[in-house]
Amino acid sequence: MINITIMAQTPQQVLEASKAQCIFCKIIEGEIPSFKIYEDSKVYAFLDINPVNAGHTLVIPKEHYIVLPQMPDDLATHLMKVVKYLSGAIFEMTGAHGINVFQNNGAAAGQEVPHVHFHIIPRFQDDKAIGEWKRNQIDPEKLKQMAEAMGKNLKPISSRVNLGSTTPKVTKKKKVATKRKKTIKVTKRKKL
């Protein structure tokens, strides 16, 4: 008889396993080449290999975290400061008419590389580089109920010690670094 024991991975083991295969960690280590535009002791920023527009930049923490809620508050705060700085600088350097700052968490949200990253994307009038979001109409009464249900679980940040979570809920997509088009089209507004 074959005896099979299935060992559940701890959140730390999940993080370690994803780190071992992470292309962004390899970029930070210099094992994979990248086009760096900014670096400090905690954060690294480089050009996206498949840019939506010229100047499309990725900003990542040097430490490996899969999704934003896992990050310690102080590191997330520093990362955000760098994103703010670079978004202003890229805006000026590219002569863009606008800037998108995107951050995907989880495959369902479009995350392909399981290492926290912010996209800074220069945008130009009518460039149609990114499709519009699918937006819905909703009954204001439902919004009211939803806001109450969600709001009662939330406390002011100042009253919390650390917002970091240790439970990554990310499944890795196989395909990375290939040319692709992101299109999200609005057809009609669905009633929720």
* 32 in Cβ contact with 21 (< 8 Å): no
Write down the catalytic residue from 56, 78, 117, 119: 117
Given the complex with ligand AMP, which of 59 and 82 has the nearer CB atom? 59
- Considering beta carbons, is residue 96 or 121 the nearer one to ligand AMP? 121
- 117 flagged as catalytic: yes
CB of 153 to ligand AMP, least distance (A): 27
Single out the residue of 179, 187, 58, 83 nearest to residue 131, CA to CA: 187
Annotate 46-77 with b (16+ C-beta within 10 A) or e (fewer): bebeeebbebbbbbbbbebbbbbbbbeeebbe
CA distances from 21 to 17, 155, 165 (A): 7, 36, 22
Q: According to the binding rule CB under 5 A, does residue 113 interact with Zn ion?
A: no
The least distance separating Zn ion from the CB of residue 64, rounded to whole angstroms, comes to 4
The nearer residue to ligand AMP, 52 or 96, going by C-beta atoms, is 52
Restricted to residues 19-58, the positions that interact with Zn ion (CB under 5 A) are: 22, 24-25
* Residues labelled catalytic: 117
Residues that bind Zn ion (CB under 5 A): 22, 24-25, 64, 115
